[in-house]
A and B are shown apart, each in its own frame.
Chain A
Amino acid sequence: MPFNIQSLEHYYTPRTVEEACSLLSSNQDFIPIAGGSAIYIFSAKGLLQDIRGFVSLSSLGLNGIHGSDAYIELGAMVTHQELLESRLDKPSVLSEALLAIPKEVRSVGTVGGQLCTCFPNFDLNVALLALDAEIMVTGGDQVRREGIEKFFRGVLEPDLRPGEIVTGIKVPRKRGLLSGYSKAALTAHGFSLISVGVALEVNRGFFEGARVAVGGALNTSPVRLKGVEDALRGHPVTRETIVEASESALSEGALNVGTDNKASSEYKRRLASVLIKRTILRVVGL
């Protein structure tokens, strides 16, 4: 069955970033597409009914993968599989999140494309939030840099003005970072009910830095649980600290989960707490 977008007529493949941005700013009912696989999901749900054109970003040369001591830099059109296969030294949370995505989607889906959906179920969004990624955005002339939390304004609501696209992502590297990703879903590679990405810095037996990101069937984009992070930071790396911190997920206001046909909100909250505990215990080796 074709994409369920009755109004869709146009498909452009511009050759330059300027051309892409100009097409998008002069046609407010056009949307940029990267790999295009998420389009099917959103169109099947009837979410793209008024879209008249696709602007494919596939020919803009946004395919670079570079690593320095300070950053991993990825072009927006780098596919999940290309990132997985790259020889870059990747934080575990990134590799583990990539391997949670079905291989057929990894072949096509891009880093920038999934980011722009701001979708809580997309594994890499959770990992990139845990890693404090920065997003490169341009409207054609200059590039601005934006933190991922600000970028995730809401589901399908990236912080982009009309005519702006994402050109790349910078992931800060931290020496000795302990990180990991866990996911619970109803089928082996299904959309997550809850998923958790953690990135921790440990110094002399104490948690010095902690980022705990949660995704899954949320009412929002992926979120950081700052209550959990606060309960870790400055505390000794012990089972007690971790159990106590993970329990604060049960009352975290930022975690906005509802009851749906797959699970109740209480269940999802409990699951978040359990996955946080297990993931942290695993990455610190307890």
Chain B
Amino acid sequence: MQISLRVNGEQVVVDDVKARSTLLDVLRDQLNLKGAKKGCEGEGCGACTVIVDSRPVYSCMYPALAASGRSVLTVEGLEVGGQLDRVQREFIDRWAFQCGYCTPGFIMALEALVREADSNPGKFKEVYGGNIRDIVKDALTGHICRCTGYEPIVETALLILSEKGLD
């Protein structure tokens, strides 16, 4: 089967998509976007996270055919004109990764959170309640990192969100 979707801002048509294929299969094997990683078997490691229509999703659990007509953003799509985006730069500056396997997933989850804050800052407390650290934890707990101990990642998230007046 054939699907047409937007990937990192570009309209693409992918042929020979099987009913069995996941979005992660299509991204990695057919579109050669290797940023999103295969980590667990559906237990929720978060390494495969991409953004579909503004929401973070596990691409390994997302039927590829369900992505038809949608807009997908992967870690490869964040760079603009050779410049890494804010979340990527902050991850580097604050050493919020070590081996890097989980990093694209964390970055996309945080990216989704930042965009959510930009699009509707008032929604945050209403939906999630609690303080900004709880909101960050809610956004990131579906991700596993075996190197950093999470603190630099959470600190990075808090720094970026605090600049938006959310703390």
**Interface residues, chain A, with chain B CB atoms under 8 Å away:** 1-3, 5, 8-11, 13, 33, 35-37, 39-41, 44, 53-54, 56, 58, 81, 84-85, 99, 102-105, 107-108, 187-191
Contacts and interface: CB of A to CB of B under 8 A. Distances in A.
Contacts, number: 99
Please classify the interface of chain B as helix (H, G, I), strand (E, B), loop, or mixed, using the class held by over half of its residues. Answer: mixed
Contacts of B139: 103
Contacts of B41: 40-41, 44
A1 B141 contact: no
Interface in B120-142: 123, 127-128, 137-139, 141-142
**Number of contact residues on B: which range applies?**
35 or more
B25 A99 contact: no
B124 to A, nearest CB: 11
B142 A36 contact: no
Q: State the 6 A-B residue pairs at the shortest beta-carbon distance, nearest first.
A: A102-B142, A107-B55, A2-B20, A11-B19, A40-B61, A188-B141
Contacts of B123: 85
A58 B109 CA distance: 24
B62 A190 contact: no
Contacts of B141: 102, 188-189
Interface stretch (B44-52, B78-86, B96-104): B44-52
B76 to A, nearest CB: 19
A189 B46 CA distance: 11
Interface in B43-74: 43-44, 46, 49, 52, 55-58, 60-63, 65-66
